[in-house]
Structure 1
Amino acid sequence: MYRVKTFNKISPVGLNRLDPELYTVSDSETKEDAILVRSAKLLDYAFPENLLAISRAGAGVNNIPLERCSEAGIAVFNTPGANANAVKELVLCAMLMGSRDVDGSIQWVRQQVAAGVDVTTVVEKGKAAFIGPELYKKTLGVIGLGAIGSLVANIALSMGMDVYGYDPFLSVDAALRLDRHIHVVKDINELYKRADYITIHIHFTDKTKQMIDAKAIAAMKRGVRFINLARGEIVDDDAMLAALDTGWVAAYITDFPNNRLVQAPHVIAMPHLGASTPESEQNCAVMAVDELRDYLENGNIRNSVNLPAVSQERSGICRLCLIHRNVPAMLAGITTLLSRDSVNVENMSNKSKGDYAYTIVDLGAQPEASVVEELAALPNVIRLRVI
């Protein structure tokens, strides 16, 4: 039996995919083999020695100590793309709110009623304060053309917008998802100088921290409307607030509020609504559970943020799964020990990711316990499982 501990509420649509004959699942599990989590912070959580994997029902993993997990041989999964449609729809909402000041107009109507005014007598005059441009024939800049960004770019194009995209790490799969009429530029400044609206869809890392700073904003068109549903830390708040004060940025729509931003004019701040749809939560839960099951039961890795993607069809009698450091001669050491035990290797896959590597070996016979112990004791082997 695998013990799975849940943090936060995980959709039952996902949890129901865990066979009760193989898994026990609850938020009170101890000595858990796996963790399912959404936003709960695990940075200081004491992991049990037997913990094999953490699956995050969502994309961001800044609530998980990745390096500590890697050193302990714990695979960490996320669910890229599972919430893409939900975020795409909120981007459209953000562009409309940033253009037409929908939020301000609603508040104004409520203020009239609260003041005892017959609102029907003032709407025609009052609406002039909330006039804003249409999206049609305007230019949208999309920074990051992954699962979310590509959807946003395509839907904006279908709405009659001219779309520029920038992604220095554009994958072949992502490129194939893009409509051919989208202008993919290699220089982000080309996007900055053309876009009436900019939306950002990149991961938060040390390299992208405060990527949207005073220099970046100065390169944008005056009156640009900027949308940030990615991570708050990607934008330099000081630079953004200064640009809003001068009118260089007409509106800043963010899904990551803080007290400074909320009190500033021309800021529309939402409480992290990007993936807050039942469909998104179900998609993320299903994907997170499926990734976890495939790893626990078959050793296959898909969508891990700290280990390489390695998967192969099952063959042979048993399977060895080794997490090890990415150093020379590891495969030779593994096969040498197996050959000495006269165990035939029927299939093997190996890939590396940074300082770590992962090897799957399907064997034609069950290896002796002593050989398994020697494999686990090889220098630079972090964790060995026999499935």
Structure 2
Amino acid sequence: MRYLNCLNPISKRGTDSLSESYALTEELDRADGVLVRSKDMKELVLPKRVLAVARAGAGVNNIPLERYAEEGVVVFNTPGANANSVKELVLCALVMASRNVLSAANWLRTLSPEEEIQKAAEQGKKKFVGSEIRGKSLGVIGLGAIGAEVANAASSLGMIVYGYDPYLSVNGAWRLSREIRHASSLAELCEKSDFISLHVPLTEKNPGLIGEKEIRSMKDGVILLNFSRDKLVDERAMDRALGEGKVRCYFSDFANPVSMGMEHAVITPHLGASTEEAEENCAVMAVKELMDYIDNGNIRNSVNYPDCDMGICQSRERIALLHKNIPNMLGQITAVLARREINIENMLNRGRGGFAYTLLDLGKPVEESDVRELEAIEGIIRFRLVSENKGA
């Protein structure tokens, strides 16, 4: 029996998708895998038994990726599982900001009940005249699962959409409508867009991606939507731009002391993926990722190790090695197996930054002495016997 621990409440649809060989445990020391949403894990020391962590969502800034990689703990996220939920909220924010909906609704509540409300409303509504989004330009920064959906949906509503993503994959490009226009730089996108929507992950390299320089290059009266992470925007610079009227509205899904003090800003409490459907989709995807890694050694959607998928083992035995991405590692691994005349029937080796992963399907089982020799190779982080196929 394998055990999973939930650090946050996880949708029942996800936990119900566990196979019969899995059960939930409240004891972290018994867990083979961990499911998490928002709990801060930065100071959490995981027991050696834990093989992997799956974040039921896209952002992983609550998880110490590098430290867990060093400890041989694979971290997964669930890209795309909440894409529709976030896309719908972005479209909602786009329309609400362009039509001054919240400002108008809040103004109405300031009217005295004794006044002739209908007459006062008719007379005052001219202060909240907005603009239609059709024919306006939208710049989408980041064209992953969510950004692509936002771009395509906005284009279908008649907007002129510019996309900027220097890391756009071939599969990502296929998701985009042919109507989406390519911006060759962030500066070009800022200069051309009436609305800008952020859809990139927060990394160590991109805090303040939208700063003073970028804001100054934007059109006067631009509307900026941030449903990615607050630190991607230099909010001190944004506060000044709002006060000066350079930015008409800043719509952010992240509350903090700076954003909550901004004039002409609409701040929501991280509602992007807060739908039943998104939570269910993320939970199911996270559970499947954990089970496939624990049962088969396959890695899909990891954020600290390379993806590596060999399906279900059809050989006598499968072994998995998490290791440093250094020269001659593969040669040392195969040399150990060659000395024991163990045939490698299938193999995948992938690297990502400083870490790598090797999966091998073998013609006969390894012995304890082989395991000790493999584990002794400098740079090996974790050796695991994944599965045995006795019928092979």
TM-score range, shorter chain: over 0.9
TM-score, scaled relative to structure 1: 0.97
- Tell me, in whole angstroms, the C-alpha distance in 1 between the residues paired with 2:377 and 2:46: 24
1:243-285 deviations in whole A, cap 9, x for unaligned?
1111110000000122332232210000000001111001100
Aligned equivalent of 2:10: 10
Q: Determine if the alignment matches structure 1 residue 377 to structure 2 residue 376.
A: yes
Contact 1:315 1:346 in 2 (8 A): no
Aligned equivalent of 1:386: 385
Matched residue type, 1:352: G
Q: CA deviation at 1:186?
A: 1.2
Q: Any unmatched runs of 5+ in structure 1?
A: none
Contact 2:226 2:251 in 1 (8 A): yes
Size of the alignment, in residue pairs? 385
Alignment of 1:264-303 (within 5 A): 264-303=262-301
- Tell me, in whole angstroms, the C-alpha distance in 1 between the residues paired with 2:375 and 2:188: 52
- Tell me, in whole angstroms, the C-alpha distance in 1 between the residues paired with 2:61 and 2:257: 22
Q: CA deviation at 1:3?
A: 1.9
Contact 1:83 1:281 in 2 (8 A): yes
Match of 2:191 among 190, 193, 196: 193
Contact 1:5 1:30 in 2 (8 A): no
Task: State the secondary structure of the residue aligned to 1:170.
Answer: coil
After superposition, the CA RMSD in angstroms is 1.2
Aligned equivalent of 1:103: 102
Task: State the secondary structure of the residue aligned to 2:122.
Answer: helix
Alignment of 1:298-377 (within 5 A): 298-313=296-311, 314-377=313-376
- Tell me, in whole angstroms, the C-alpha distance in 2 between the residues paired with 1:254 and 1:243: 15
- Tell me, in whole angstroms, the C-alpha distance in 2 between the residues paired with 1:182 and 1:358: 36
Q: CA deviation at 1:123?
A: 1.4
Matched residue type, 1:349: L
- Tell me, in whole angstroms, the C-alpha distance in 2 between the residues paired with 1:246 and 1:138: 22
Aligned equivalent of 1:42: 41
- Tell me, in whole angstroms, the C-alpha distance in 2 between the residues paired with 1:258 and 1:112: 29
- Tell me, in whole angstroms, the C-alpha distance in 1 between the residues paired with 2:65 and 2:100: 40
- Tell me, in whole angstroms, the C-alpha distance in 1 between the residues paired with 2:120 and 2:179: 44
Aligned equivalent of 2:137: 139
- Tell me, in whole angstroms, the C-alpha distance in 1 between the residues paired with 2:365 and 2:204: 45
- Tell me, in whole angstroms, the C-alpha distance in 1 between the residues paired with 2:378 and 2:114: 78
Q: Any unmatched runs of 5+ in structure 2?
A: 387-392
Contact 1:323 1:384 in 2 (8 A): yes
TM-score, scaled relative to structure 2: 0.96
Contact 1:142 1:199 in 2 (8 A): yes
Aligned equivalent of 2:84: 85
1:296-326 deviations in whole A, cap 9, x for unaligned?
0000000000000111132211100000111
- Tell me, in whole angstroms, the C-alpha distance in 1 between the residues paired with 2:349 and 2:190: 41
Matched residue type, 2:373: E
- Tell me, in whole angstroms, the C-alpha distance in 2 between the residues paired with 1:87 and 1:116: 41
Aligned equivalent of 2:390: none
- Tell me, in whole angstroms, the C-alpha distance in 2 between the residues paired with 1:325 and 1:29: 27
Matched residue type, 2:117: V
Q: CA deviation at 1:17?
A: 1.4
